[in-house]
Amino acid sequence: MSKKKNVTFDDIAKFTNFSKTTISRYFNDPDSLTLENQAIISHALEELNYKENKVAKILANGKTEFIGIIIPSLFNHYYSEMLNQILLTYETFGYKFLVFVGNEREETERRYIEELMAYKIEGMIILSYTLSSRELAGLQIPIVTIEREDEYVCSVNTDNYMGAVQAVSLLAGKGCDVLIHTNSPISSNLPAYGRIRGFLDVCLEKNLRHQILYKPFAHNYDLTQIYLQEILDELETKYKGMKKGIFVSNDDHANILLNLLVRKYGRLPDDYLIIGFDNSPVSTGAVFPISTVGQQIDRIAYEAVKLLVDLMNERKKRRPVPLREPIHKVVPPVLLRRATTEDHSE
């Protein structure tokens, strides 16, 4: 009673007068036993209170059913919701997730990956953007990245370009005199760069007056607010009296911009239309609900895990066919029209 060692197949075998092999088959191929014997074993399991040991199973058959995840800080809602949706796929695919929070230091993330490999994970999902896709590709393990540089690895991303096109088209359709896009200077090999391309392409094609305002990426609220105030000041003077359609790089920034305006005017002035990106909770929780380009996080997460599962399955075959080219899946965004792009003149 005191030394309660775990009940093993051996114990069950002795108890039932079967062999370990038969017990194993009871779990992995029950049909190969007579119903009668199944019942006997089933009863023994109850009697002995058997608990399975997957660690031993792994060692024997090599299948951990582990997927490793490296994700940047969950402070950002986009990442936490993505992780949420990824974890929920356990119900569909049965894979378990070992999660590390990347801290933007290369050496640290390499350590995380080593640790994951030591636990014999079958695949990885990378949202962290610290390590190059080239380095990741060298890891010799199925990998899918989400919304980051992905030249040498498989990935699932939002169709950022399409999102920008939808946003700008909405603003243009509302009769804006000038279209503004605010963003940080980002590398053209990032999926999010599509937002800039989409903005420019539509403006040029439709021959719309437009301007992109770049500010450095700020990691904290106060600095971001300062940058956006600067942008606002510029707009107020430069485009005075004109109807301004502003496509902000994300909902957090759109919310700050909206707040600056509401604090100044007590409402959103008629000559300002705002649209953000992400459909994060701030966009609905804002003082006036913010129009936004919604990322379908649930679908992205599902597609990412599904793609990874496919890759992992291929690898288990007797003659795996390696991918010639990385697969890049794209999930369409959803335009959400809310108060900040409706006519708000009373």
Partner DNA sequence: TTGTACGCGTTATCAC
Partner DNA sequence: GTGATAACGCGTACAA
Number of Cβ within a 10 Å radius of residue 115:
13
Positions 224 through 283 that interact with DNA (CB under 7 A): none
> 321: burial class by Cβ within 10 Å (0-12, 13-18, 19+)?
exposed
Q: Coil, strand, or helix at residue 53?
A: coil
Query: Which does residue 189 bind out of DNA, its own copies, none, counting CB within 5 to 8 angstroms by kind?
Result: none
Strand pairing of 334-336 and 291-294? antiparallel
* CA–CA distance, 41 with 23 (Å, rounded to integer): 7
DSSP classification of residue 7: P
Smallest gap from residue 88 Cβ to its own copies (A): 6
> If binding is defined by CB under 7 A, does position 37 make contact with DNA?
yes
> If binding is defined by CB under 8 A, does position 322 make contact with its own copies?
no
One of 6, 73, 92, 284 touching DNA (CB under 7 A): 6
β partners of residue 17 = none
As given in the structure block, the two tokens for residue 218 are 């700020």
In 196-265, at which residue ranges do the beta strands (DSSP E only) sit?
A: 210-214, 244-248
Query: Which does residue 37 bind out of its own copies, DNA, none, counting CB within 5 to 8 angstroms by kind?
Result: DNA
Query: Which does residue 117 bind out of its own copies, DNA, none, counting CB within 5 to 8 angstroms by kind?
Result: its own copies
* CA–CA distance, 283 with 251 (Å, rounded to integer): 6
Phi, psi of 160 (to 5 degrees): -60, -40
Positions 60 through 119 that interact with DNA (CB under 7 A): 60-61
One of 32, 92, 284, 313 touching DNA (CB under 7 A): 32
Give the binding range for DNA (CB under 7 A) out of 59-67, 70-78, 132-140, 163-171.
Answer: 59-67
Query: What is the pattern of x (binds its own copies, CB under 8 A) and - over residues 271-290?
Result: ----------xx-xxxxx--
Query: Which does residue 32 bind out of its own copies, DNA, none, counting CB within 5 to 8 angstroms by kind?
Result: DNA
User: How many residues can be counted in the chain?
Assistant: 346
DSSP classification of residue 175: T
Contact 72, 104 (CB under 8 A): yes
Residue numbers at the binding site for DNA (CB under 7 A): 5-6, 8-10, 17-22, 24-25, 27-28, 32-34, 37, 50, 52-53, 56-57, 59-61
Residue numbers at the binding site for its own copies (CB under 8 A): 51-56, 58-59, 64, 73-75, 77, 80-81, 83-84, 87-88, 90, 96-101, 103, 115, 117-120, 221, 252, 255-256, 258-259, 262-263, 266-267, 281-282, 284-288
